[in-house]
Amino acid sequence: MKTAIVYATDENYVKLTAVSLYSLLKSTPSQSVVVLANGLSEADKHILMAVSDRFGGDMRIIDVNNTLAIVRDLGANGYVSFSAYSRLFIAKLLGDEFDRAVYLDGDTVVSRDISPLFDMPLGGKAFAIGYDCLCNRYKKLVGLPSDAPYFNSGVLLIDLATWRERHCTERIFDYMRKVRNDFMFGDQDYFSVVLANDAAVLPPEYNFLTHFQMFKRQKDVLRATGIPSCAWYGDAQYSTARRNPAIHHFLGNTLGRPWYRESLNPMRETYRRLAAGAGVPEVAEQSRPVELCYRVQNFCWRHLPQPAFAVAVNAMYRYFFRTRYGV
């Protein structure tokens, strides 16, 4: 099967994407890479092309500014980058040239060869996607039952023909048009609400979220988030992922994203080296003060036993969702 690696980016994330691209080609060379670009300047494009050229890569950049007009017209909003909606057009834009696509968010780092992922059996499903570790109370805000799966769309394995046959993109747009277009996490929420029955579960090592770095045991993740075991990874699968993650996906939490100087993330120095290798060392020297809630979490993480830390995180989550959203 012929597989393309796909990124979606804009001027705000292009340097992060360059770091991810560098880590990908360093770990998994000789890949066909497609970048879905939302308003990139020629200088921005050069940053990405320079990384690809260093590895003799095959990379093309597709401008999706006009394509995204469809989503703008549907009134999409939320906290995520608008460029993330480009994921919904991958099957259309790649056409019949490729059988599969592996989509990566720009805030990822590939730490080992991911080519085994390309041949992962999907059991007739249109795509594979990993579980998120967002507080289970969030499901109430998007209309999901508490025992339903909730996914993180930062890494996807897409069977392009099946995606088109199932009209996955059109079904999301239909839902946005007729039901709701204001989900907080944008297209990610639609993967969970509209396309859950079309999804195979991506092994956690291929979307190793920052939260996984904090908790050594699966049961502590469930204790912290309130996610039921029926809607998340099993203990053996989680332990395997922790031993050998393939794709790190950096989310905001007590450890912080590694491109900030204040970050306590264990991947901080690795990220600095990758940024230098990608030709954008400055992206790893950004500054962002740590929010109070994360300072409190970090204190608990450093000083409490893991089970107690998980209980503390759960209490913080419950307070946040109750006071802000009433759930």
Determine the Cα–Cα distance for residues 229 and 149; give it in Å rounded to an integer.
10
Q: Write down the H helix ranges in 105-225.
A: 115-118, 138-142, 160-165, 168-178, 187-193, 210-214, 218-225
79 — pLDDT class (breaks 50, 70, 90): low
Return the pLDDT at 148.
97
The class level of CATH for 3-325 reads alpha beta
pLDDT mean across residues, the chain: 94
The helix-helix angle for 268-277 and 14-27 (nearest 10°) equals 90
Predicted model pTM: 0.96
Nearest to 210 by CA among 262, 133, 151: 133
Which residue is associated with the tokens 């200088």?
Answer: 43
The CA distance from 114 to 51, in Å, is 18
pLDDT of residue 254: 79
DSSP state of 215: -
Q: At what angle do helices 42-54 and 14-27 cross, to 10 degrees?
A: 10
Token pair belonging to 214: 């904090």
Q: Tokens in use for 201? A: 């579960």
When pLDDT is averaged across residues 54-68 and rounded to a whole number, the result is: 92
Let me know: does 138 contact 271? Beta carbons within 8 Å: no
Tell me the per-residue pLDDT of 89-127, one tens digit each, with 9 for 90 and over: 999 999 999 999 999 999 999 999 999 999 999 999 999
Report the chain's C-alpha Rg in angstroms: 19
In angstroms, the CA 28 to CA 214 distance is 27
